């Protein structure tokens, strides 16, 4: 068993958020040039190979694939693959800054849905924080200006899908190991994306294959760092640092893609993050 090391866990979470932010920047670039489904499909091929290699090195592929709830595990994999496609579409339509500002609401959605999905009790303080957080989302979306724009709702839909994926992962963990859930996530997603991505295949320029290779490597590295992070530290102690992905991704959007940080986005993101941190703190107390 790995010795707990909260400080190392925090450093690993910060490194994870930085790598995932780089992955988001690469996805935004490639999806601006090629079909989103093709980009995500190639990314999943490498991810599935990484998952299978990890399973083979540890418990074995057969042991990792063994589950008593295959429908649930397959649905989780499909949900995450769909969420990635939706979020990458948001990067292209809205940019990294605004997409991540809205997506930061997913911990609030997890808290709101934990009652009906997992049967957990959500107290009035967390409900108040959830309400405040969604006021922050409305500040970002500017009611009456962009709230009815389909593009503005893309990252919100991705946040909802990711929150449901996270809750189903917790539900699956009652009977399956983390290794089993990880295996099904990668393999199911790769199969699903191949089924839809091959239909939109288009030739890729030689230089962009280099960016695609880097995207695949950052995906595998990010998941490896996240696994190591949860091996050495409790999720509750490192989860607040996951919000740094918003900071890193926004920095990339501002410096490399010429995006701007509107005052309403900055204010709304600050409200969402504050509310999210409060819900994490209340959950830790509970």
What is the pLDDT, as a whole number, of residue 146? 46
What is the pLDDT, as a whole number, of residue 200? 94
- The rounded average pLDDT for each run of 10 residues, N- to C-terminus, in the chain (286 residues) is 72 90 94 94 93 82 87 94 94 90 84 74 75 79 59 88 88 85 92 95 92 92 83 73 87 88 84 81 66
What is the pLDDT, as a whole number, of residue 147? 43
* Residue 198 domain-assigned (yes or no): yes
What is the pLDDT, as a whole number, of residue 149? 65
C-alpha to C-alpha distance for 229 and 241, rounded to whole angstroms: 11
* Residue 214 domain-assigned (yes or no): yes
Q: Answer yes or no: are the C-beta atoms of 132 and 271 closer than 8 Å.
A: yes
Structure-derived torsion over alpha carbons of residues 29, 34, 38, 39, reported in degrees to the nearest 10: -10
* Residue 71 domain-assigned (yes or no): yes
Domain count, the chain: 1
Q: Answer yes or no: are the C-beta atoms of 215 and 26 closer than 8 Å.
A: yes
Q: 3-state class of 207 per DSSP? A: helix
Domain containing 171: what range? 6-285
What is the pLDDT, as a whole number, of residue 119? 72
C-alpha to C-alpha distance for 239 and 12, rounded to whole angstroms: 11
Tokens found for residue 214: 């880097």
Strands (E) in 102-241, as ranges, are none
* Residue 61 domain-assigned (yes or no): yes
* Residue 281 domain-assigned (yes or no): yes
Claim: this prediction has a pTM higher than 0.85: yes
Residue 259: φ, ψ to 5°: -80, 165
C-alpha to C-alpha distance for 7 and 235, rounded to whole angstroms: 13
What is the pLDDT, as a whole number, of residue 285? 63
What is the pLDDT, as a whole number, of residue 118? 66
What is the pLDDT, as a whole number, of residue 182? 87
C-alpha to C-alpha distance for 147 and 138, rounded to whole angstroms: 8
* Residue 269 domain-assigned (yes or no): yes
* Residue 89 domain-assigned (yes or no): yes
Helices and strands per DSSP (H, E), number in the chain: 13, 0
* Residue 1 domain-assigned (yes or no): no
C-alpha to C-alpha distance for 265 and 110, rounded to whole angstroms: 22
């Amino acid at each position: 068993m790995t010795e707990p090391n909260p400080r190392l866990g925090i450093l690993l979470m910060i490194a994870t958020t930085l790598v995932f932010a780089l992955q988001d920047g690469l996805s935004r670039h490639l999806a601006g040039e090629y079909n989103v489904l093709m980009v995500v499909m190639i990314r999943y091929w490498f991810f599935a190979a990484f998952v299978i290699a990890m399973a083979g090195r540890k418990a074995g592929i057969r042991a990792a694939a063994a589950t008593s709830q295959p429908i649930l595990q397959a649905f989780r994999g499909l949900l995450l693959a769909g969420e990635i496609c939706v979020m990458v579409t948001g990067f292209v339509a809205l940019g990294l800054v605004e997409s991540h500002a809205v997506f930061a609401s997913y911990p609030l959605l997890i808290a709101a849905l934990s009652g009906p999905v997992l049967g957990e009790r959500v107290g009035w303080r967390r409900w108040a924080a959830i309400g405040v957080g969604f006021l922050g989302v409305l500040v970002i979306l500017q009611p009456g200006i962009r709230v009815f724009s389909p593009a503005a709702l893309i990252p919100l839909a991705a946040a909802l899908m990711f929150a449901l994926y996270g809750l189903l992962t917790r539900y699956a963990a009652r009977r399956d190991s983390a290794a089993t859930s990880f295996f099904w996530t990668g393999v199911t997603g790769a199969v699903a994306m191949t089924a839809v991505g091959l239909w939109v295949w288009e030739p890729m320029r030689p230089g962009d294959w280099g960016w695609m290779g880097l995207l695949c490597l950052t995906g595998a590295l990010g998941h490896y760092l996240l696994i190591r992070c949860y091996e050495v530290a409790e999720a509750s102690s490192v989860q607040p640092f996951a919000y740094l992905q918003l900071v890193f991704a926004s920095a990339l959007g501002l410096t490399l893609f010429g995006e701007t940080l509107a005052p309403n986005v900055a204010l709304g993101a600050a409200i969402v993050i504050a509310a999210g941190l409060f819900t994490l703190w209340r959950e830790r107390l509970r």
